[in-house]
A and B are shown apart, each in its own frame.
Chain A
Amino acid sequence: MEEIIPSIPFILEGILITLKFVLLSGVIGFILGIGVALAKLGKSKALGKIAGAYTAFFRGTPLILQLVYIYYVIPQVTPWNIEPFVAGVIAFSLNSAAYISEIIRAGIQSVDKGQFEAAKALNIPYFKAMRKIILPQAIKHILPALMNEGIMLLKESAVISVIGVSDIMRRGQIVAADTYNYIGALTIPLILYFLMVRVLEMYGSRVERRLSYSD
């Protein structure tokens, strides 16, 4: 077991990379997801169709395939070489936006129609009403579903190790290959992911409690 100890800091450094990756993909995916949801609910039929096709595609194909596709195909058909980390963020944001857009669409539809009408009658512009009146109420309803999505994102981020991003998972594998100590090298990531998800869950229930003041 001792041979693993010098490698522990190396694995722990992966935490920052994994967190940075999840935070970036999550935030971009969330904002994009709101946009896609609004397109689905909006007046424009064309935009609605595009948003529907987008969701169908990203939910209908494996995430790992989307990832390697972006990483290997884009440099072949365009002049850009993509960093593995960036390719990962693109794939994960696009993918989670597809799922988040469905969650947000359901959330917006769960808000009482009267809220839209009151906002209209008060002449509050559409996007302002969405941002300040409808979405805050919608998000309260869908917080548990969003939390699920966040947890999925955090755990599935381990997939980016396949294109060489040195996240927790990848570092665990490197150490395992170096030391042949699979138990040690893979148990540490196991514990790290579990702890990170626990923290996320606890934070989520705190936010949920904080938002319940208006029930």
Chain B
Amino acid sequence: MIKVNQLSKTFKKTPVLNNITTEINKKEVVAVIGPSGSGKSTFLRCLNGLEQPSEGQVYIDGTQLNEQNVTQIREKTGMVFQHFHLFPHMTVLQNITFAPMETHGTSKEEAEENAMKLLETVGLSDKATSYPNQLSGGQKQRVAIARALAMHPEIMLFDEPTSALDPEMVKEVLDVMKQLASTGMTMVIVTHEMAFAREVADRIIFLDQGAVVEETTPLQFFNTPSTERAQSFLQKVL
């Protein structure tokens, strides 16, 4: 479903990603972990064209992502950000219905019906008319997930979705993500939640200094990491 071929990214001469090649299959849940500054977020952002690779290619469903087809490719991906980025001047319902109505031309009734269903799945039916500033961090992130899902993506990209949350709100967001994974959604998750990665991910990609250092099953990665770099990382975070 996603193919990444020799992807490198350099920001003003600073190398961030270095020759990454990997593949993500349909319905697979992949957790991208690694120390901060390892290029995890940049890697994720290359997958929906928020960053352009300096070298190498990204293929989504066999089509190479480029500047001309980036909007078509983005149709297939939804993204959830660390800091939510809800539209502050719109209600929760408007946040979710805006893109389907403006981009797909979905009717208001249909968009709202779908939005209410999504709000129910993320457990926020009662917040439809609230504004983002009236929600807690965990609630905001669940709305952001619903907003992304409203565009019917085939792939969901999560960029540290729980890093900006108070500890007691992390679980409610992870629960929604778990539920989403169980429906067979293809998911790429940049995260620091090791327990979550171990439980939900089918595969772990461990990045360090912009390169894939280890790529394996959670079981193997957490129990018997093969590289020294992964071992010392796990020692610090577990």
Contact size class for B? 20 to 34
Cross-chain contact of B148 among A112, A121, A124 (Cβ < 8 A) = A121
- 23 sample A-B contacts, Cβ–Cβ < 8 Å, listed by A number: A112-B85, A114-B83, A114-B85, A117-B81, A118-B81, A118-B85, A118-B87, A120-B74, A121-B74, A121-B81, A122-B103, A123-B71, A124-B99, A124-B102, A125-B102, A133-B87, A136-B89, A137-B88, A137-B89, A140-B89, A213-B131, A214-B88, A214-B133
Cross-chain contact of A128 among B50, B87, B102 (Cβ < 8 A) = B102
Write the chain A residue with the least CB distance to B77: A121
Q: What residues of B have a CB within 8 angstroms of the CB of A115 in the complex?
A: 85, 87
Residue interface mask A136-147, B partner, CB < 8 A = 1? 110010000000
Cross-chain contact of B85 among A117, A128, A140, A213 (Cβ < 8 A) = A117
Q: A213-B131, A214-B131, A215-B133 are in contact. Are A123 and B151 (CB under 8 A)?
A: yes
Q: Does A132 contact B (CB under 8 A)?
A: yes
Write the chain B residue with the least CB distance to A117: B50
Distance between B157 CB and nearest chain A CB, rounded to angstroms: 8
Q: What residues of B have a CB within 8 angstroms of the CB of A137 in the complex?
A: 88-89
Once bound together, how far apart are the Cα atoms of A124 and B87, in whole Å?
13
**Do A132 and B102 have beta carbons less than 8 Å apart?**
yes
Q: Does B79 contact A (CB under 8 A)?
A: yes
Contact size class for A? 20 to 34
**Do A122 and B81 have beta carbons less than 8 Å apart?**
no
Write the chain A residue with the least CB distance to B103: A123
- Residues of A participating in the B interface, judged by any CB pair closer than 8 Å: 112, 114-115, 117-118, 120-125, 128, 132-133, 136-137, 140, 213-215
**Do B99 and A122 have beta carbons less than 8 Å apart?**
yes
Write the chain A residue with the least CB distance to B88: A214
Write the chain A residue with the least CB distance to B133: A214
- Residues of B participating in the A interface, judged by any CB pair closer than 8 Å: 48, 50, 71, 74-75, 77-79, 81, 83, 85-89, 98-99, 102-103, 131-133, 147-148, 151
Write the chain B residue with the least CB distance to A118: B85
Q: What residues of B have a CB within 8 angstroms of the CB of A136 in the complex?
A: 89
Q: What residues of B have a CB within 8 angstroms of the CB of A215 in the complex?
A: 133
8 nearest A-B pairs in the assembled complex, by CB-CB distance: A118-B85, A114-B85, A122-B99, A121-B79, A214-B88, A123-B74, A214-B89, A123-B103
Write the chain A residue with the least CB distance to B48: A121
Write the chain A residue with the least CB distance to B76: A123
Write the chain B residue with the least CB distance to A120: B50
Once bound together, how far apart are the Cα atoms of A112 and B85, in whole Å?
8
Q: Pick from B75, B78, B86, B88 the residue with the most CB of A within 10 Å.
A: B88
**Do A214 and B132 have beta carbons less than 8 Å apart?**
yes
Q: Pick from B75, B81, B89, B132 the residue with the most CB of A within 10 Å.
A: B89
Write the chain A residue with the least CB distance to B86: A118
Once bound together, how far apart are the Cα atoms of A125 and B133, in whole Å?
25
Distance between B147 CB and nearest chain A CB, rounded to angstroms: 7
Distance between B52 CB and nearest chain A CB, rounded to angstroms: 13
Distance between A120 CB and nearest chain B CB, rounded to angstroms: 6
Given contacts A114-B81, A213-B131, list 10 more A-B pairs with CB under 8 A. Answer: A112-B85, A115-B87, A118-B85, A121-B79, A122-B98, A122-B103, A123-B75, A124-B102, A137-B89, A214-B89
